[in-house]
């Protein structure tokens, strides 16, 4: 997992880096301003951003792209400010950030939703449930072999082949509207293709994805109309 930590206070930076030494599967980049945060996001594939609400004395709740963002603050009154921006309070971390805070973020990240969004398929089907069932059956038949190939290549440590295999399942996942899973697979494909992570870290990130891919089969079985 790659985290961008946006903080202008050196003390907090040092404390956060120290915490992450206890979680070797996480790598961290530091940005010290809103502008630097945006620059880094443009050239790096981060999984999560953790950022101070006040940077260089200025409050800014804007977030770049669709990367999950956790805000940090030294006081609770900012909860009202977050709610006005429709930001859930669970995305606020009170300083000092603890090891438990980071572990919870990791848990939230690895819990991947497999609830499908059939809007694309419904548009194609136009009321034809037989067509919808046909697509589901095709997915159920094909995905097990794709999962097996992904697992085999991951064990071999071939990141390029792994990226190719992850890319191959993305169209199916997008078609069935597994949006959360698409985001996770896309990020891992990008990092694997650019050799931007150790194979041990890659396998740690792959594990919840494999579990979620198996879960999609169970989910889709319940959606078929017999």
Total domains in the fold of the chain: 2
**pTM score:** 0.66
Final residue of a structural domain among 83, 110, 137: 110
Assess whether the previous peptide bond of 38 is cis (omega < 30° from 0). Answer: no
Write the pLDDT tens digit of every residue in 124-164: 999 999 999 999 999 999 999 999 999 999 999 999 999 99
Write the pLDDT tens digit of every residue in 190-217: 888 887 667 877 887 898 999 999 999 9
pLDDT bracket for residue 175 (50, 70, 90): very high
Final residue of a structural domain among 54, 82, 110: 110
- Residues β-bridged to residue 3: 28, 48
Cα dihedral 17/157/40/83 (nearest 10): -70
Question: In the prediction, which pLDDT does 74 show?
Answer: 79
- Whether 226 is covered by a domain: the verdict is no
Question: In the prediction, which pLDDT does 190 show?
Answer: 87
The parent domain of residue 196 ranges over 119-221
Write the pLDDT tens digit of every residue in 28-62: 999 999 899 999 988 887 888 999 988 887 877 77
105, 141: one domain: no
Final residue of a structural domain among 110, 133, 156: 110
40, 127: one domain: no
Q: What is the CATH number of the domain that holds 45?
A: 3.40.50.2300
């Amino acid at each position: 997992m790659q985290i961008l930590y946006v903080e202008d206070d050196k003390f907090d930076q040092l404390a956060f880096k120290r915490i992450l030494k206890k979680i070797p599967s996480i790598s961290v980049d530091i940005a010290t301003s809103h502008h630097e945060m945006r620059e880094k996001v443009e050239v790096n594939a981060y999984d999560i951003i953790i950022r101070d609400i006040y940077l260089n004395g200025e409050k800014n709740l804007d977030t770049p792209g669709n990367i999950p963002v956790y805000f940090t603050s030294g006081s609770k009154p900012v909860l009202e400010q977050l709610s006005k921006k429709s930001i859930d309070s669970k995305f606020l971390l009170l300083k000092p950030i603890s090891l438990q805070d980071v572990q919870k973020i990791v848990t939230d990240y690895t819990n991947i939703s497999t609830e499908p969004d059939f809007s694309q398929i419904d548009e194609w089907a136009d009321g034809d449930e037989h067509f919808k069932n046909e697509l589901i059956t095709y997915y159920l038949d094909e995905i097990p072999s794709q999962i097996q190939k992904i697992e085999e290549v991951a064990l071999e440590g071939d990141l390029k082949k792994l990226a190719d295999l992850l890319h191959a399942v993305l169209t199916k996942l997008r078609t069935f509207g597994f949006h959360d899973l698409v985001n996770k697979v896309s990020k891992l494909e990008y990092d694997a293709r650019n050799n931007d992570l150790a194979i041990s870290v890659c396998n740690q990130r792959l594990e919840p994805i494999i579990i979620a891919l198996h879960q999609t089969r169970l989910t889709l079985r319940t959606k078929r109309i017999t």
